[in-house]
Amino acid sequence: MKLLSTKATCNSHGQDSSYFLGWQEYEKNPYDEVKNPKGIIQMGLAENQLSFDLLESWLEKNPDVAGFKRDGKSIFRELALFQDYHGLPSFKKALVDFMADIRGNKVTFDPNHIVLTAGSTSANETLMFCLAEQGDAFLLPTPYYPGFDRDLKWRTEVEIVPIQCTSSNNFQITESALLQAHEEAKKKNLKVKGILVTNPSNPLGTTMSRNELNLLIDFIKDKDMHLISDEIYSGTVFTSPNFVSVMEIVKDINDFKDFDADVLERVHVVYSLSKDLGLPGFRVGAIYSENDKVVSAATKMSSFGLVSSQTQYLLSAMLGDKKFTRNYLSENKKRLKKRQKMLVSGLEKAGINCLKTNNAGLFCWVDMRNLLSSNTFEAEMELWKKILYVVGLNISPGSSCHCDEPGWFRVCFANMSEDTLNLAMKRLKDFVANSNGEGCSSNNSSKKSRRITQSSRRLTRKSFSNWVFGLSSRDHREQEER
Question: Active-site residues: which are they?
Answer: 145, 230, 232, 275
Measured distance CA(466)–CA(482) in Å, rounded: 16
**205 conformational bin, left if phi > 0, alpha if psi -120 to 50, beta if neither:** left
Return all residues near 396 (Cβ < 8 A) that are at least 6 apart. 18, 19, 22, 44, 146, 203, 409, 410, 411
In 3D, which of 362, 345, 451, 471 has the Cα closest to residue 415?
Answer: 362
